Amino acid sequence: MVDINFLEKKATKIRMDLLTMIYEGKTGHTGGALSCTDILTTLYYGVMNVDPANLNWENRDRFILSKGHSVEGYYCILGDKGFFPKEELKTFSQFGSKFIGHPNNKVPGVEMNTGALGHGLSISVGMALAAKMDGRSYRVFTLMGDGEQAEGSVWEAAMSAAHYKLDNLTAIVDRNKLQISGSTEEVMSLDSLEDKWRSFGWEVIQVDGHDYKQLLEVLGNTPKTKGKPTLVMAYTTKGKGVSFMENVAKWHHGVPSREQMDMALSELSARLGGDCDE
């Protein structure tokens, strides 16, 4: 049984690490990285079967970060899990670094380059179909943004996944309701997203994307329906964990000032009782 307190503390530390990486790298997609930290933490510390010492293990679970611009927390988790030395993250977005602003499969643990929105689900469908054809038991998880749902390729992939009965595929939508231009409903009305996904033949489950108990229950127990892919609609808060960033569209991307960094780290450190050590 995964300790919820462990996940909460781990996610808080990951938030502190990703903010530091953005501040030192002078670039990053802050709000979206913070909104999906709890989802990524749950997957990598409580759900997925992966082995940093055996990158090519054929039965490893696959993860694709389709909303690739929110890569910072992903990199921090992979470093913390031991896929590469954490010290390498200090090169984030520097000239010649493999730690660029979108997932790069030169980084150990990253399955596929992503970032152009709308492609991650298609890649995941291919991986899940390959598992079925090869008789393998691994699962495929992909994390999409809600603004990404305006991409037509998402729905082509959704249709294919249902057609091939890919119940080894779980797609997650980070439903924070904000994108680079503002509210998702003002940019391109999406609701009811749940109804749309159901109409494409998916099993749809809604969760609080910051509630570890809910996330563990859903993500750790798929498929929900045999013969159907699973869509997890995870309702989140953009900028989660830093009070002045939460639900503020301008923090879609942006680098905090020194004063803002001190405020953010102080807030997060308080949740750890002031103890930032492992």
For the chain, 278 residues long, give each residue's pLDDT as a single digit of tens. 789 999 999 999 999 999 999 999 999 989 899 999 999 999 999 999 999 999 999 999 999 999 998 999 999 999 999 999 999 999 999 999 999 999 999 999 999 999 888 899 999 999 999 999 999 999 999 999 988 999 999 999 999 999 999 999 999 999 977 776 667 777 788 888 999 999 999 999 999 999 999 999 999 999 989 999 999 999 999 989 999 888 887 877 889 999 999 999 999 999 887 555 44
| Entry pTM | 0.94
Instruction: Say if CB 175 and CB 146 are below 8 A apart.
Output: yes
The closest of 204, 220, 245, 201 to 39, measured between CA atoms, is 220
Out of 3.40.50.970, 3.40.710.10, 1.20.1090.10, 3.40.50.1220, select the CATH number for domain 4-271. 3.40.50.970
Q: What's the angle, vertex CA 171, arms to CA 66 and CA 19, rounded to 5?
A: 45
Domain boundaries of the chain, sorted by first residue: 4-271
Give the C-alpha separation, 216 to 200, whole Å. Answer: 25
Count of CB atoms situated within 10 Å of the CB of 62: 21
What CA–CA distances, in Å, run from 174 to 34, 58, 110, 181, 230? 11, 28, 19, 17, 14
Give the C-alpha separation, 99 to 150, whole Å. Answer: 28
3-class DSSP state for residue 172? Answer: strand
Contact partners, residue 183, CB within 8 Å, separation at least 6: 177, 249
Instruction: Say if CB 71 and CB 103 are below 8 A apart.
Output: yes
